[in-house]
Amino acid sequence: MNDLQHQRTSCEEAVNHFLLRISENKHLNAFLEVFDQEALERARSLDQLRATGAALGKLHGVVVGLKDVISYKNHGLTASSKMLKGYVSVYNATVVDRLLAEGAIIIGRQNCDEFAMGSSNEHSAYGPVLNDADNTRVPGGSSGGSAVAVQAGLCMVSLGSDTGGSVRQPADFCGVIGLKPSYGRVSRYGLIAYASTFDQIGIFSITVADTARVLEVIAGPDDMDSTVSRQPVEAYSSLLPKTADHKKYKLAYFKQALEHPSLDPEIRKAIADLIDRLEAAGHTVTPIEFELLDYVVPAYYVLTTAEASTNLSRYDGVKFGHQTALKVDDLTDFYKKNRSEGFGKEVKKRIMLGTFVLSAFYFDAYFAKAQQIRRLLSEKSKDIFNSYDALISPNAPCSAFKLGEKQGDATEMYLADIYTVFANLVGIPGISLPLFHTKDGIPFGIQLMSDQLKELSLLALSDQLMQSEGKH
């Protein structure tokens, strides 16, 4: 971004560079569609604007990719599903309007797990995305295409969505920064819903400063989304250098999280060593009890699948969605054929699970109990942030695994979310920072979480940590 801001390059040169990178890396399958001519035309118009001496937007010339669940008017929008094949969005998401208003260039839409359901990006109707660090490994999910696009230098930043870790976990697997803002910090208007009380649009980037600048643009109140916070948006990009320098933080980590048997020993040691360095630098790092760790994944999947069952009921092939070519005898059969053919296996599994937990006989046993767990977690979160500035955690139990490695074990795949779903259940912000590599050279990171709407503090801590670890 700095080269554009200081006029060391032109917008057109930047777009041509990224179009070449995308062409050279088609095998990664990160993009479903590239808006090449449109991006070049917008770049030229931005260059002409700059030549007039006019005031430039905060994201002037910044080349952005969009996960294929974010609406961009007159462009394809499929949620990487056959169900929406050929669908063209009729309006802009609020985040898209705000990006464009500040001079960003949208270069394409990015592959993801179908309807944002998955932890590996192997559940796209258009094929898996490959990790640029090792093409035999998954990039994480569901925003795998968005993470790989930044990892491989196919765009400057990407917008994804995070329902239970779908920005932070692929950021971890791909060695980039991934921010999930607080629930309600960024408008969800124009985001295809998976689970409406969990979903949040997030940011992939290379630097904390870039993340701060994009968040400053896309965050804030929106009349089209009643769940958005009315709290004013802080000037993250300008305040960050003033708050990131020498503050000593009170940090905590869940004792049970680092002792959990699912956590790879290499990740455990890297985080333990980081904690030692933080303490040596003058920060306070305290282990705290978290007896509910083994309940977070079950509670998350009960609640999100219930919401998905409701949200995805609209895709029936009548107003929009896939329509079967087979002859059908009645309306019920028509619905069944449309949905059976249009949805992939993972989406159908989650819809059926959600329908089950919402049924009259099982509602109290599953859905109501999961809501109780969510309330307990929210209370726990408030207690923690009354005493501490941030939580430290792994992002995932392991680094990027091999393609197909976990396809036969749904439980193991779902447990990949054990460290990230807490932030979505309680609505707090979380960020993945790319600090480490395995002995095989595969990247992984650390997760930081802070109190609701405390993104500035989270970004400042992140920037300090990246600098102290030599990542700037």
The terminus-to-terminus CA distance of the chain in angstroms comes to 14
Cα distances from 241 to residues 7, 59, 269, 433, in angstroms, run 22, 18, 31, 18
The residue annotated as part of the active site, out of 67, 180, 406, 454, is: 67
Sheet holding 430-437, edge to edge: 31-34, 105-110, 63-67, 157-162, 200-205, 177-180, 430-437, 443-449, 390-393, 250-254, 284-288
Angle, helices 455-468/236-243, rounded to nearest 10 degrees: 50
Known catalytic residue: 142?
yes
Which of 154, 131, 27 is CA-nearest to residue 442?
131
Q: Is 253 helix (H, G, I), strand (E, B) or coil?
A: strand
- Other CB atoms within 10 A of residue 51 CB: 9
Known catalytic residue: 85?
no
Cα distances from 226 to residues 15, 90, 129, 188, 432, in angstroms, run 36, 21, 34, 10, 28
Q: Is 447 helix (H, G, I), strand (E, B) or coil?
A: strand
Distance CA 359, CA 366 (A): 10
CB-based contact 253:285 (threshold 8 Å): yes
Tokens of 438: 């395995």
Distance CA 321, CA 332 (A): 16
The residue annotated as part of the active site, out of 81, 119, 124, 142, is: 142
Place of tokens 């305290």: 286
Q: HSE on the CB side for 324, CA within 13 Å?
A: 18
Sign of the alpha-carbon dihedral angle for 79, 119, 204, 228: positive
Known catalytic residue: 166?
yes
Beta strands in 68-124 (DSSP E): 105-110
Distance CA 258, CA 267 (A): 9
* Cβ within 8 Å of residue 269, ≥6 positions away: none
The residue annotated as part of the active site, out of 81, 166, 187, 399, is: 166
- How many Å separate Cα 378 from the centre of its chain? 21
Q: Is 270 helix (H, G, I), strand (E, B) or coil?
A: helix
Positions annotated as catalytic residues are 67, 142, 166
